[in-house]
A = this chain, B = another copy of it.
Amino acid sequence: MTKSRSEGSLTTVRGLAALRARVAEWRLAGEIIALVPTMGALHEGHGALMAAARKASDRVIVSIFVNPTQFGPSEDFAAYPRDEAADAAFLDAAGVDLLYAPSADAMYPEGFATLVSVPELGGVLCGTERSGHFDGVATVVTKLINQVTPDAAYFGEKDYQQLVIIRRVVLDLDLPVRVEGVATVRASDGLAISSRNAYLGAKERAIAPALYVALKDAAQRIGAGAEIEGACAEARAALIAVGFSSVDYLQYVDVASLEPLATQDRSARILAAAHLGRVRLIDNVAIKN
């Protein structure tokens, strides 16, 4: 299905009208279109999304938009890494057809007032620490999907709560798009690749893989029949022991409702967020029974 495409042919589009015109051309030609929404600072994790999109589509559109509404007042919006030239080179090498890079003023013009929210899923886990974050995510992803009107949109399993919320929004609002989750890409020592890993000092970077180790360990023990809350509590304690300053949560939850589960369930996953120095790391693993 993949069209051959020569390097150096990446098109950058900033306006909605130009985006829609290009998408309309591709539609008319009967092409399958994929969207990979990102905030830039592209890395191998995004690369895996693009590769999955490339494989299943004729055209791949990557959006880069550092969305102000999903950052809390004390978060790193201003400091979030931005380097469009480097990102464009990355996209070009990845065989992406179009970079959609709208401005914040175009996305949120004067008078903007609408919110898409999933209160039950957006207020738990990361949502308790990051109030309003998932409303910002749900709203901007709804906008991007409606702007691009792709056949499929690709999201990483790394941000698992985000993926669950986006699946819920797409299903609930009947957005005519397929949501594809892509497995987390990890460094050779297991650390999940993330733009925010750049904030880790050398010592913290050495400690960081313990998050994945603790999750894998808890998952393996629960899969083998260990008591759930006990296994999670031990994993949390292990993180503090190796130098994490605090654990926001490390919980065995239902993959659709995100509710904590006290007993073994086939559709469960362990999700965690923990602070290491000034960096908040998240990760998650499936349970293999």
Interface residues of A (CB under 8 A from B): 16, 20, 111-121, 138-139, 142-143, 146-147, 149, 168-169, 172-176, 256-257
Q: A113-B121, A113-B172, A114-B138 are in contact. List 11 more A-B contacts (CB 8 A).
A: A16-B174, A113-B118, A113-B168, A114-B116, A114-B117, A114-B173, A115-B116, A115-B118, A115-B119, A142-B173, A143-B174
A116 interface neighbour in B120, B121, B173, Cβ under 8 Å: B173
Residues in B with CB closer than 8 Å to A119 are: 113, 115
Bound Cα distance from A149 to B149, whole angstroms: 11
Given the complex of chains A and B, what is the CA–CA distance between A263 and B46 in angstroms? Answer: 53
Docked complex Cα distance between A179 and B139 (Å): 20
> Chain B residues with Cβ under 8 A from A117's Cβ?
114-115, 117
Nearest chain B CB to A32 CB, angstrom units: 15
Who on chain B is nearest to A149 by CB? B176
Which residues of chain B are within 8 angstroms of A113 by Cβ–Cβ distance?
Answer: 118-121, 168, 172
Q: How far is the CA of A169 from the CA of B116 in the complex (A)?
A: 10
Give the docked Cα–Cα distance between A16 and B175 (Å).
Answer: 12
A143 to B142, CA, bound (A): 12
